Amino acid sequence: MKKQTSFSSLLRVLALAASASICAIGAASAHRMWITPSAFTLSGEEQWITVDGAISNDLFFANHVPLTSDALIVTRPDGQSGEIENAATGRFRTVFDVQLNQQGTYRIAETGALFFAEWQENGETQRRRGSLEQLRSGGVLAHDGVRLMRSARRVETYVTLGAPNETALRPTGQGLELRPLTHPNDIFAGEPARFVLLQNGEPAAGLQVEIVKGDDRYAEAVQSQTLTSAADGSISFTPQQVGRYWLASQAEGVAEMDGVPMRQLLTYTLTFEVVQP
């Protein structure tokens, strides 16, 4: 009789559960979560953009499941929250509009966390997922030997109207994030771009970062590279081709919430554009 499930098998379970639902977790399931705007850089006094959010293998084709739309956050150039308009979730993608009526850089993110529980009952493995409160009120946390995992994500992109500014780039200090040293709307082919990976606001060393060029469905071999963050959390890369790119990283660890210890998986993804210098 199976006594204990290893962490890696729990991860597999989570990946399976995720790919079957709308909470796929980045590289663990090879399904990629992304947000992509109709334009990354705009001019003029006021503009609108439309934004797609989806989880798919092909970048950036929405052909698998939509990103959830209940935790979309727009940070305006002055640091205040912006409005999401005309949000709708279809079969394969979530779509929404954002009015840009301030000059500067906007951060557009989808964030969220889901809890997974696994325990043995009468010789069978039981699994539930939901918010911590849902698991608690459902009595899940009371089971003997219950194993918990928290999966938190940040899926984001940046858009600039007029001259870029830094306010919306400030880290929130929560989960896995990327602090741009190169402005994310100022990434040019043949020029190095630098970022610092942060975990709960602190530089995260030794984490793998995957960078994939979009339109991979037309490539014989997927154009991707995997970097490892340095001791100061920094990564540097020089994209050679113009186009849209996807960057992703994950951190595994332990966490404690409301006195309950658990495994934790933090996921971060960024969509950015590389333009001609």
Partner 1 sequence: MRALVIAAGVLAAGAASADELRVEIELPRMSVAEYHRPYVALWIARPDQSVVSHLDVWYQQEDGPEGAGETWLVDIRQWWRRIGRTLELDTDGVSRPTRPPGQHTMSYQLPALPPGDYLLNVEAAREVGGRELIGVPFRVSSNRVVEASAQGENELGAINMRISR
Radius of gyration of the chain (CA): 19
Q: Minimum distance from CB of 25 to partner 1 (Å)?
A: 35
186 or 215: CB nearest partner 1: 186
Q: Which of 5, 47, 167, 200 binds partner 1 (CB under 8 A)?
A: 47
Site for partner 1 in 208-237 (CB under 8 A): none
Among the candidate windows 38-46, 65-73, 195-203, 266-274, which touches partner 1 by CB under 8 A? 38-46
Is the torsion defined by CA of 227, 204, 117, 156 positive or negative? Answer: negative
Q: Minimum distance from CB of 274 to partner 1 (Å)?
A: 12
Dmax over Cα atoms in the chain, in whole Å? 67
CA atoms within 13 A on the CB side of 68: 15
Q: Which of 5, 38, 41, 223 binds partner 1 (CB under 8 A)?
A: 41
Site for partner 1 in 146-165 (CB under 8 A): 162-164
Total of chain residues touching partner 1, rule CB under 8 A? 15
Q: Which of 8, 45, 81, 122 binds partner 1 (CB under 8 A)?
A: 45
179 Cβ neighbours under 8 A, 6+ residues apart: 169, 171, 195, 196, 197, 198
Contacts 24+ apart (CB under 8 A), 230-234: 230/205, 231/205, 232/196, 232/203, 232/205, 233/196, 233/197, 233/198, 233/202, 233/203, 233/204, 233/205, 234/181, 234/194, 234/195, 234/196, 234/197, 234/203
139 touches partner 1 by CB under 8 A: no
37 or 164: CB nearest partner 1: 164
175 or 239: CB nearest partner 1: 239
162 or 243: CB nearest partner 1: 162
Interface contacts to partner 1, rule CB under 8 A: 39, 41-45, 47, 162-164, 186, 188, 275-277
